Amino acid sequence: MIPFDQISTIGQTVIFMSKQERQTRILNAAVELFIHYGYDKTTVSDIARQAGISKGAIYLHFNSKDHLMESLLTRELMTYHEKWMSLIEEDPQGGTIGGMYKNILLAFGSSPFVAAIFRQDSRVLGSYLHKPDSFFRRRQRGTQFEFVQLMQEAGVIRPEVDSKVIAYIMSMLSFALVAMDDLIDPQTAPPLDDLIHGIADLMDRALTPKSGGDSEAGKNILRQLSETRRRALEEETS
């Protein structure tokens, strides 16, 4: 006899799936609906319908819509960090400030949901964003200031620049990249790829030491930061 929680239907077709396959289907349905309609306007029934499963099956994985959202946030951020490090490792200049910035922004721009997370988009994330025990309130944020200092010590960023000022500018640029569509007609903007490479070139020209910077030293720092963030995200699901 097949357990109920391994049975789902699409139309009149009965399909069998593992627990992991069903959870993935639920999260994929949720991210699509949250981006399109927002967290508040999306119900658990909507997600079940989109996923082609029963509402009860969702509660076999998640005890509430908030719990589902937190699992989705964790999954999407882990995917983003994996994409980010993969691009950096493949790029010989990935550890320089220009290469690092280019690849982070490329990874950043590959997911509308990740963009919504970083700009804390209230339309997509809805009331969950402001809950006192939300993922955003619990999660400790690393500072750009500490990162810039590490990169200066490794010879990747010029040591004489003011690390606090540079850290603030970097945060501004990251936020602006995902928020500009709400402020300026996208039709007037240059292609995203050109924009990302332009920002990376400016950062390189402004911050890279005359020696060219130590890409491998920069990659080592990014590997350490990526591992720290990965562990922090895993703790969210444990």
Domain boundaries, the chain: 4-58, 67-237
- Residue-level pLDDT at 23: 94
Q: What does the pLDDT look like over 27-79, one tens digit per residue?
A: 999 999 999 999 999 999 999 999 999 999 999 999 999 999 999 999 999 99
| Percentage of the chain exceeding pLDDT 70 | 86
CB 175 within 8 A of CB 168: no
Amino acid of residue 129: L
- Residue-level pLDDT at 130: 87
Closest to 116 in 3D by CA, of 161, 181, 67: 181
Q: Give the confidence band of 7 by pLDDT, cuts at 50, 70, 90.
A: very low
CB 222 within 8 A of CB 147: no
Q: What does the pLDDT look like over 82-127, one tens digit per residue?
A: 998 999 999 999 999 889 888 887 887 778 898 888 878 889 999 9
Q: What does the pLDDT look like over 179-224, one tens digit per residue?
A: 666 667 767 778 777 888 888 898 899 999 988 889 999 999 999 9
Close Cβ partners of 37 (under 8 Å, ≥ 6 residues apart): 46
Amino acid of residue 130: H
- Tokens representing 199? 């920002």
Instruction: Please provide the average confidence, as pLDDT, over all residues in the chain.
Output: 84
Secondary structure (DSSP) of 54-90 = -HHHHTTT-SSHHHHHHHHHHHHHHHHHHHHHHHHHH
Distance CA 118, CA 219 (A): 23
- Residue-level pLDDT at 29: 97
Query: What average pLDDT does the segment 166-179 reach?
Result: 77
CATH number for the domain whose boundaries are 4-58 = 1.10.10.60
Identify which has the larger pLDDT, 193 or 14: 193
- Residue-level pLDDT at 102: 86
- Residue-level pLDDT at 139: 64
Closest to 73 in 3D by CA, of 22, 36, 39: 39
- Residue-level pLDDT at 228: 85
- Has residue 3 got a pLDDT over 50? no
